[in-house]
Chain A
Amino acid sequence: MIEKQTNQKAWFMVLPVFLIVAFSAIIPLMTVVNYSVQDTFGNNVFFWAGMDWFRDLVHSERFHDAFLRQLMFSGIILAIEIPLGIIIALSMPKRGWGVPVCLVTMALPLLIPWNVVGTIWQIFARVDIGLLGHTLASLGFDYNYTQDPLAAWITVIVMDVWHWTSLVVLLCYAGLCSIPDAYYQAAKIDGASRFAVFRYIQLPKMHRVLLIAVLLRFMDSFMIYTEPFVVTGGGPGNSTTFLSIDLVKLAIGQFDLGPAAAMSLLYFLVILLLSYVFYTVMSNVGIESSSDGGSQS
């Protein structure tokens, strides 16, 4: 038998990684943690505040409202973009000249910088000069996103759908393209309907890319800042003030560093937690449905 030698020198090998992670994540994060437990009245003088900011935050109505708005926004976005993305991917051509045309058209919105997207829609939807806003107003719709919260919400959601559905489409399309022809041929021979082909071949084969699509869209939409900030600035009132917009108002607008730091941490933990929940639920979807197996045939 070989005597096992303990050699702690190996820890030094981990040191470079530790340093990189420290500079990229731990140190910036710790400054936030530092602010979150202290209070200041300026002049670089800090007082220990303990868990007070967190306690305030958890009981703050303003935070609750922003959080609910954020959840609602992400929920609506996912409910629209995922099914729409699947439908568009399903109806895209599989071969011929239509493929590059569709792919480029789909990729275009993804290439536009966030604030440009915001600016485009800000102008596009304006009632006085915007093509969309003016047309809607001329048709008799009471549409004005600077005054009506519902119109503001619709504008922001339509903008996000326009900007990001392409991502879902491209991911789903990649998933669809990886299905061998034999599956479709077998389905024809088995006499499967179009819906059965979707339900039993296409959807299961897209499962993995859909998981990625949902995760990416959830995280992105939960952290959305630039586009609604440019279009509505969080208004009218606070109706489109999502978490990130609220956070910036708190940190830079009011310069409440402590509460803002506490909110940042909580925000981060919520995203981490929800992403984990999504991932666990979605990767278990396949396994769960096996237990109720033969009974439903």
Chain B
Amino acid sequence: MANITLREIAHSYSGPSDNPDDFALKRLDLTWKNGNCYALLGPSGCGKTTLLNIISGLLVPTLGDVLFDDRVVTKLSTEQRNIAQIFQFPVIYDTMTVFQNLAFPLRNRGRTRKEIEPRVIELAKMLGLENDLYSKAQHLTADAKQKISLGRGLIRQSVNAILFDEPLTVIDPHLKWALRSQLKRLHKQFGFTMIYVTHDQTEALTFADEVVVMYEGAIVQVGTPEDLFERPEHTFVGYFIGSPGMNIVPCRVEGNILRLQEYDLPLDRSYGDLSRFSKIELGIRPEYLSLAPPAAEGVRVDIVKLDDIGSHKIARVRLDDHIFNVIVPELTEMTADQATLVLDPQHINIYGDDIRIGGER
């Protein structure tokens, strides 16, 4: 087991190029610490799978190096790297039984039947496959098949890391939850590094110690779920994480005063000269907005729509051309079509050209 370091990695499917648009993966540096559980989050086509394939060795990056601790493994083949990877759709060997499927990676590495058998039986028990062990893998359900794929990854004890490429896409929601907690348990038990690709934010946030968010071939933020929620480093992260996502609205900032249309609002920190940015925006989560009666002091908004999603309501309110989503508790009575929008200053983030600006207290 080792720390996995990506050093100035970049990848283009059309070979080396001077045009940055050719790169599916823009230059990035990142270290995956041994034994941690990471989620790789991002929209479809942002380069998550490319990154995964580079780590596992299915792809050789156009630029840069992959290191396991201090050893450069960029050119090593997948089997030499000792990495397991589980794909979006279950891959099983149709003609084999469940037992043979699970034993396959060990058999290919020349282990004896004596070594293999107890290990397979133990693993099958852990995955809940022990009853199907001698039946054909072909005829099992999708989730059992995905468990087999998973099992083939786990059967090798010495793997450096297990990479998951959206492994639960084909699984029913109630089984998803069960499989995910099973994965977490196995992770605790074995302590392998886990990198979990997903575009489902709840999956990422509940699962991982650290979340890596990718956008258009670049890593925009690495942080704990809390970081991503409270302090998104990029407007994309704010927008992508959360349901509904962060409200991002153009504004002006002078010192510790936020100017939103004709309203001046206090901020809890002050910002210096922001004239170097072409675009200044404020970002605030719907959770930190609230509505007060229209008569109250503050930002006057029109209520456009009210969606009841069960545990709470989502109000869409309009300030001139800008729409805010506000999460309001179940019992709030909304009679008028106007209200006053209250922003919690502590949770306002200011973005210059999509990048979060720190500010001083």
Contact = CB atoms under 8 A, between A and B. Distances in A.
B91 A192 contact: no
Given A183-B91, A190-B108, A192-B108, A290 B85 contact: no
Interface string B21-49: 00000000000000000000000000000
A189 B79 contact: yes
Given A196-B108, A200-B93, A188 B88 contact: no
Contact of A286 (B58, B95, B104): B95
Interface stretch (B129-137, B220-228, B313-321, B346-354): B129-137
B104 A190 contact: yes
Interface string A172-200: 00000000101101101111110010001
Contacts of B91: 182-183, 186
Contacts of A84: none
Interface residues on B, range: 35 or more
Nearest to A290: B136
Contacts of B83: 189
A297 B78 contact: no
A294 interface: yes
A47 B176 CA distance: 78
Contacts of A200: 93, 95-96, 104
B58 A188 contact: yes
A289 B96 CA distance: 9
Contacts of A193: 108
Given A188-B58, A297-B97, A290 B149 contact: no
Nearest to A186: B91
Contacts of B87: 182, 185-186
B134 A188 contact: no
A294 B58 CA distance: 30
A201 interface: yes
Q: Taking each of A183, A186, A193, A286, which has the highest tally of chain B beta carbons within 10 Å of its own beta carbon?
A: A186
Contacts of A297: 96-97, 99-100, 103, 107, 113, 116
A10 to B, nearest CB: 39
Interface string B145-162: 000010011000000000
Contact of A188 (B78, B97, B152): B78
A95 to B, nearest CB: 12
Interface string A120-136: 00000000000000000
A32 B152 CA distance: 61
A204 interface: yes
A127 to B, nearest CB: 49
A191 B109 contact: yes
A200 B96 CA distance: 8
A189 B78 contact: yes
A42 interface: no
B105 interface: yes
B94 interface: yes
B89 interface: yes
A188 B79 contact: yes
Contact of B105 (A182, A183, A191, A294): A191
Contacts of A188: 58, 77-79
A141 B149 CA distance: 57
A96 interface: no
B79 A191 contact: yes
A293 B135 contact: yes
Contacts of B78: 188-189, 191
Most buried by A among B88, B95, B97, B136: B95
B134 A293 contact: yes
B247 interface: no
Contacts of A189: 56, 58, 78-79, 83-85, 105, 153
A204 B93 CA distance: 8
Contacts of B89: 180, 182
A184 to B, nearest CB: 9
Contacts of B113: 297
A40 B22 CA distance: 82
Contacts of B149: 186
Contact of B134 (A196, A205, A289, A294): A294
A63 to B, nearest CB: 41
Contact of B85 (A185, A196, A286, A296): A185
Contacts of A185: 53, 58, 85, 87
A290 B105 contact: no
Contacts of A201: 93
B360 to A, nearest CB: 49
Interface in B102-129: 103-105, 107-109, 113, 116
Contact of B99 (A205, A286, A294): A294
Contacts of B95: 200, 204, 286, 289
B154 to A, nearest CB: 12
Interface of A: 180, 182-183, 185-186, 188-193, 196, 200-201, 204-205, 286, 289-290, 293-294, 296-297
19 contacts: A182-B87, A185-B58, A186-B87, A186-B149, A188-B58, A189-B85, A189-B105, A190-B108, A191-B108, A192-B108, A200-B104, A204-B94, A205-B94, A289-B95, A290-B136, A293-B99, A294-B99, A297-B107, A297-B113
Q: Enumerate the 3 nearest inter-chain pairs by beta-carbon distance, A residue then B residue, closest first.
A: A186-B91, A191-B108, A191-B79
Given A204-B95, A293-B99, 6 more contacts: A183-B91, A188-B77, A200-B93, A201-B93, A290-B136, A296-B100
